[in-house]
Structures are given as C-alpha cells and as structure tokens.
Amino acid sequence: MIYAPLYVGIERGYFAAEGIQIESTPVQGGSDPVVQLAAGNFDAAFGGAGAGLFNAAARGVKFSIVAPMHNESAPMTSPLVISAKRVDEIKSVADLKGKKVAINATGAATEYWVDQALIKNGLTMADIELVTVGFKDVPAALENGSIDAAILGEPLATINVQKGVVAVLADDFIDGFYATYLYMGESMLADTATSEGFMRAYLKACGDLQGEYMTPEIAAIIETYTKVPAAVIEQASAANYNAEGVIPVDNLSTLQAYFRTRGYLEYDTDLDVNTLINTDLVARATSK
C-alpha cells in the first residue's frame, strides 16, 4: 500500500505522459534495491533506509536519494499488534517488559519503530527480547504464542483485526517520520529528460494522495497492483506523502545514529547523509 504513488502515477497516466513506461520488479529489503541500482539493473527504486543502505553507501555503492516516499502518523500504517486473545493481559506497551517483540527484519526501520514505542512507554530495547518474523507470519506467531507482540504493516494489520486474530496495541508512537525513499542510479540521473519526467510524474501522484485521499477509485487502483480487496484498503490506515519532494535529512541522520547504537553499521565514522542526497532533480523537475 505504501507504493500507492507508483500505482496512481501509472494508472492516471502521469508516467506515460512523460514518455515513461514502468516495469516494476519486487526485491528483498536491506541494501538490495540500491545494489541493483548501482549494477544498472534498475533505473529507480523505492525502499527503506535501513542499516544495509548505509553500509552499502559506506562500501562505495553509488546511488542517490532523490525524494521521500511515505511517512506515518497516528493511526500508523505499521502499528504494534498483539493476539486478540490477550487484550486483557497486554493492555499497553509497558506490559511488554520481558516479552518477545517481532520486527520483519533486523536493521530495518521497523526496529526503530519498536524503540520509539518502548521509549514512549518508559521502556527500552533492553527490556524486551527482539526477534524477527516476516509480516505474513506474524498473525500465526501471535496466535500460537511464539511471540507476544509485533510490528505489522498494512493491509495485513486491518485484515487480521477484521478476522479477530490480532488487536492493535499502539499506533501513535511515530509522527511524520520518513523511513522510505525514492532512489536513482547514476545512469538514470545522467538521463536528465527521463529522470526529470519520472520525478514530475511521481510528485504529481503524491499530490493526489493528500488529506483524506483514500477514495474508492484510489483503493481500486491499489487493489489492481496488490490484489488486496479495495474494501479492505479503504478501511486500512493510510500512509502520508510529500508532494514537494523535500528530503528530511534529520530523519536519515536519526536512523543512522540509531543503527550505530545497535551495532549494525560496518563503518566507524558516520556518513554525512547530505552526500547521499540529490536535491537538484526535484528542483529541476518542478521548475518546468
């Protein structure tokens, strides 16, 4: 669901109007998207700014962050959930002390999500046992008691709440923080006509996704690409998008600092995140 700008841009003809045909390919998280960019296999990529991304940059992998993708605020698109059977036992995040909490991948932004949820409730990461469970396996793991809580992304959160399998424990511990971005490789950036056209189409789609944007039409577009029923999408918590393309440098710095404290970074001196950012593309694309 967080890739809605891409879907909307395709279906409303924004990319086509720029002479761009989109061929999308799913990849694993971590540094895979930017590594593929550097290898010339992709022209652009969407993905999270996890520890793998910073490590790839430190190794000299060439890519640029050219725009933000989505941010979350209450009600979040990646809430902290528990088994619906345990709502009388686990009533707040503070009740997770000494319990197993799952994220989808080590070194991902979802780990920072857990950290912020704990801090807001007087706990730290040292107070829980952090484990990794793929989003699709979270409901079953909560049901069988192998984990006590987990971050679960939409639309899986809404689907499983409606099934009575999970309950939302907290969805208000992140407010306007960007952890996902649009990346481009050097070859794409060198093609100024294509890269500027892509950015114009992308930002135009982001502009369509402002405020209470989840109309039946938008939900139907997302259903086309995700196969999630539009009725579910309409009820799920929606992500927020920036139509101006302003990259929040402080959010990137915060993530790098957090991954440093967790021991996930393979380099000793913090990167200047400004060196990973290209602001010229948005400036050129929006001036035409």
Q: pLDDT of 39-56, one tens digit each?
A: 888 999 999 999 999 999
- Is 19 in the same domain as 96? no
Q: How confident is the model at residue 33 (pLDDT cuts 50, 70, 90)?
A: confident
- Is 235 in the same domain as 136? no
CATH number at 139 reads 3.40.190.10
- Is 42 in the same domain as 99? no
| Cβ atoms 100, 129 nearer than 8 A | yes
* Domain interval for residue 97: 80-170
In this predicted structure, what is the pLDDT of residue 27? 75
- Is 261 in the same domain as 183? yes
pLDDT digits (tens, 9 = 90+) for 176-222: 999 999 999 999 999 999 999 999 999 999 999 999 999 999 999 99
- Is 267 in the same domain as 135? no
In this predicted structure, what is the pLDDT of residue 129? 98
Whether the per-residue pLDDT at 174 is higher than 90: the answer is yes
In this predicted structure, what is the pLDDT of residue 31? 65
- Is 87 in the same domain as 68? no
- Is 219 in the same domain as 160? no
- Is 165 in the same domain as 183? no
Share of the chain above pLDDT 70, in %: 99
Q: Does 82 or 38 have the greater pLDDT score? A: 82
Boundary-marking domain end, from 138, 170, 202: 170
Q: How confident is the model at residue 36 (pLDDT cuts 50, 70, 90)?
A: confident
Boundary-marking domain end, from 131, 151, 170: 170
Share of the chain above pLDDT 90, in %: 93
- Is 209 in the same domain as 161? no
- Is 85 in the same domain as 136? yes
Number of structural domains in the chain: 2
- Is 109 in the same domain as 60? no
- Is 153 in the same domain as 181? no
